[in-house]
Structure 1
Amino acid sequence: MFKKSIRTKIVAYTFSIMLIVSVLFSIISLYNLLTLRSFFINSSKNVFEAQANHYLEDEVKSYSKIIEANLTIKEKMCDSTVNFLLKAQDPKQYIPNIYTVMNKDLNIKGVAVLDKNFSVQYAYPADVKFDGAITRLKSHEYKKFSKNSYFVDFYLNKDKNAYFAFLFPFKDDSYILFEIDPIGIFSILQSAQIKPMSDKYLWMTDAKGVLVFDPKVKEHPLITLKDHVDLTNPENGEKLAYLMTNYILKGKTGTSYYTFRGVEKYVGYTSVPQAGWALGLTLPISSLLEGVGKLNQQINSKTILMLGIFSFFSVITILIALFFSMWASNRIVRPILDATNTINAIIMGDVSKRITYESNDELGELVKSVNNLMDALAQTLANLGDIAVNKENEDEQL
């Protein structure tokens, strides 16, 4: 009972302590590992978002400057043409040649001379109808573009195509109207879809927030002015409507996010000030998170590897704890068992046994004390034996 009890207790206590230390170390290491993993994932996501926001804002401002420069060039060339026609005795005879040149460079759809009531007096080509522009002009839906010109925002003609126009005062309270096909502007917008970030795309609205051009992407088909998708309408997204009404159409620049037709997107937004158009350079959040997801997979694989390493070392630690507890119990219990056996031998009358254990620790001192006790006891017994023999001799002599 003594042997089993002492050994069991020492093994149990030592093993328990080592196991607790091992478990605590594993838990702390696991916690730190998972915390570090979460930190890396969140940090990488924040970095991706910050870079995307910065990238989108800077690029959309660049597109705004390009489009504004394109508009300004068109207006300047139209202005130069009007100055030339003002000096001509018969301006109408020059308009066909002017149209041929300007159509090639500026995508001019047609040129018209209007009276003071905005009715067409002369048009070239003759088959071009300026009904959309005339309707806007008669409704006073135009604004000053420069000191010599007015700007007519996007409109649909009967051919269901979108155009915009520049209006210039001319002789005798008349006007000259240049109707422009926006194909050149749309080409600029489409250039935003060039790789390396082909998932991003650039959309544009008129000054009222109606989409004029939203390219065909995997999220939705091409959207143009004829579809009349009003981004200020909450039905197309409350966040987007708020953003359009309170920021973009007020000429502000920045980045945000919104949901359009069920797709969450980041957007860098700005405006084209002279025209009042709104620009949005959009990147679906799924595209951004794709990179984060790949990084997350790499972090997870590394985390699993580290967990495996921790588990391996935990098992090794437990085995070492078990071995150490067995070794410690043997080192502690063996001298005690020897001392017990020696004492039992004394009880049985054998005083010749000694404990073979040498150490400078407390157990070593105990063993020495027991051995010294045995030596002293053996000597005492020997002395008693001698006394008894001498006594017998004396009795015989008497």
Structure 2
Amino acid sequence: MNTLESVKALCQKRDRRARELRGEGKKIIGYLSAYLPKEIINAAGCVPYRILGDPNEPITDGDNFLEQACCPFVRSCFDIGVKGRLDFLDGFVAPHYCHNIEGVYDIWTYNIKTDFSHFIDVPHTIHPSCHEFLKEELAMFKDKIGEFAGVAISNQKISESILQYNENRDLFRQMYELRKQDPPLLSGSEVIEIIVAGSSMPVEEYSALLKGCIEEATTRTKRPERKGARVMVMGSGLDNPAFIELIEQCGANVVIDDLSVGTRGQWHDVEITQDPLDGLATMYLEKFPCSRNCRSSGLPPETRQDDLRARFGHILDFAHDFDVAGVIVYTLRYCDPIQYDVPDIEDYLREAGLPVLSVEDDYFMSGQGKLRTMIEAFLEMIER
């Protein structure tokens, strides 16, 4: 089995490696959202495991505890938890990403028992005082998980962990560079599969997986076909390769993204600082472009264009760097942060000459026929 084929198997059975490692005595710490500092979990000698939902599993048991007017991604994650599918986790950590994750934390820890649990209050505003606040939150988390793991987490251990993750991010960017070619050497659905698989294993194994995928993508003879348009996908809660595959089936090459599982948390390195918590606080507060953060250009007086550039300029930069002809904005139902931003995103990109298609989904692609019709019509428009 080649590397890319093994990735598919890992995606289909994400918990397999984590269960093996737990059997070997490793502590597995599940976390919600990319805003969680994996570097600290790794420095404690534990394995970070990103909790994702299951688009193929109907929500049943979880709806006994959560309202249906709640983020379907969060509901799906909770549902597989109460069904016992996360019974290999030794700990559960959640950051204050949004009100849905904040609200589910107490319900989760009460109904899905683990030996360790912790909530990290991540500020929503970028300001020096917020940096200091987050640094204190990370210091508290470091002490708590160190106590749980039975180790003293030194600054040196955190710095070494940061270097491991920075190496991983460098490989991640190398993988994305392969998508600048026309046609791309890796399809969009393949990339999402690699990311989903990698988020369920230790960082050193993920880096080895990336190296193998990069080597195979550059040497294989059967590569992705050149499609009619190069598109970017952005939005919330999208970890399902099937949606990206649907876009590619409709006749496009998905070559770049602005997604939580994609570029948002993995595009920028953590700065090496004397106190490594400073570098982590800067990374997870300032280098993580997301609708849940209130960003400002810092220019007085601030114009609307200044504001839009500060919030969404990275999206336009990606579109130019990867030669994108259109952008598909994917939003989950009840995801307030991204839905509030969608009108401004559309205005900003269209003013820059980029066509935009906004779609709302329930995470399970239950309206796949409707999605296909919308995507095909959008691609036909931008290919004229």
TM-score (normalizing by structure 1): 0.24
User: Which structure shows the higher strand fraction?
Assistant: 1
Bigger helix share: 1
Structure with greater Cα Rg: 1
Taking structure 2 as the reference length, what is the TM-score of the superposition? Answer: 0.24
